[in-house]
Amino acid sequence: MQSSFPLFPQAASSIASEVDLLYFFILAVASFFAVLVSVAVVFFAIKFRRRHADEIGHDIHGSIALELIWSIIPFVLAMVMFFWGADLYFRIARPPADAMDVYVVGKQWMWKVQHPEGVREINELHVPLGRPVRITLGSEDVLHDFYIPAFRVKMDAVPGKLTTLWFTATKTGSYHVFCAEYCGTQHSGMIGQVIVMEPHDYEAWLAGGRSTGTAVQNGEKLFTQLACITCHKTDTSGRGPVLTGVFGSTVQLMDGRQVIVDENYLRESVMNPQAKIVLGYQPIMPTFQGTVSEENLLQLIAYIKTLKATTPESPEGGQ
């Protein structure tokens, strides 16, 4: 664990040391300029101090060469920072294909976590060591932000849409989770822990948890309970489109646009179905805004994502 007076954060994810490296690079550049200018200014102020009351400075107006030098060097350094930072950002943004999925919903003022196997927890997130974890984030109410300093990752949870974040933990232990986007009274109380475990400990933990069914199973149950199934059938006899294989496909809309089906499209289709009408269908699907919670929505999405080939029951929930 942390010492009681740390000056530098622990680095416990695969990305953390990369972020630190960039940090030290910019720190070096910044320190160089800070020292250069401060020393020069103080030195000049002493060296060229006024000796008698009527003294004036030398007649120097400027130098194009110097202006160029001190624009181009900072510019080049700034570009190095930009490209380095941009490259790093892509790596922070793009989860590996084999990442395991975890669903997290922010709500004033707690984090609700759902593992694909069905175990749920609040303000705690157990993850296995060394395995990429991809978190799909939603929000029930206002903006929140899921932040794990030891992993150097953070992402806003935005009401009305889903966002993603990923990491691979590289050290066992428990680390802070903070809500980093201001969200009201208990913003500073919306904190929790990520507990990184050896993979076999994690399996044991999962097995010991009270599972209320996997996310996919729950999604399937909801699909029946909410009567989605009355319109979305496995054959084309329903009033709504067949949802098998819809995830990842390209859908033609009535107004001529095309969209690729991703999590946010699925979300919108349930919460705001009139926004995008599939070509060839009537805008009759009711909105489930207010009926379906953000958590249930994530389960429905998890379920719809598995409706791929012939085995809609496959339990791994979105590998």
CB proximity list for 281: less than 8 A, separation 6 or greater: 239, 240, 241, 254
- C-beta of 147 vs 303, nearer to other proteins: 147
Structure token digits, residue 193: 């822990």
Residue 232 makes contact with ligand HEC by CB under 6 A? yes
Do 156 and 145 form a contact (C-beta atoms < 8 A)?
Answer: yes
Dist. CA 230–CA 237, nearest whole Å: 10
Per partner kind, with CB cut-offs from 5 to 8 A, the member of ligand HEA, ligand HEC, other proteins, none near residue 240 is ligand HEC
What residues from 246 to 265 belong to the interface with ligand HEC (CB under 6 A)? 246, 251, 261
Q: Of the ranges 87-95, 137-145, 202-210, 273-281, which one interacts with ligand HEC (CB under 6 A)?
A: 273-281
Q: Per-residue x/- marks for ligand CUA, 271-290, CB under 6 A?
A: --------------------
**Nearest-approach distance from CB 299 to other proteins, in angstroms:** 16
Q: Per-residue x/- marks for ligand CUA, 195-234, CB under 6 A?
A: ----------------------------------------
Q: Side-chain half-sphere of 66: how many Cα atoms within 13 Å?
A: 4
Structure token digits, residue 144: 């929140």
Q: Of the ranges 17-25, 159-167, 186-194, 239-247, which one interacts with ligand HEC (CB under 6 A)?
A: 239-247
Position among 95, 106, 240, 317 found at the interface with ligand CUA (CB under 6 A) = 106
Q: Of the ranges 160-168, 176-184, 204-212, 310-318, which one interacts with ligand CUA (CB under 6 A)?
A: 176-184
Q: 122 exposed, middle or buried (CB, 10 Å; 0-12, 13-18, 19+)?
A: exposed
- C-beta of 147 vs 288, nearer to ligand CUA: 147
Q: What angle do CA 88, 260, 89 make, to 5 degrees?
A: 5
Q: Which of 271, 274, 277, 281 is nearest to 236 (CA)?
A: 281
Dist. CA 163–CA 181, nearest whole Å: 14
Dist. CA 216–CA 300, nearest whole Å: 7
Chain residues in the site for ligand CUA (CB under 6 A): 106, 109, 144, 179, 181-183, 187, 190
Chain residues in the site for ligand HEC (CB under 6 A): 226-228, 230-232, 239-241, 243, 246, 251, 261, 266, 269-270, 273, 276-278, 281-285, 288, 300, 304
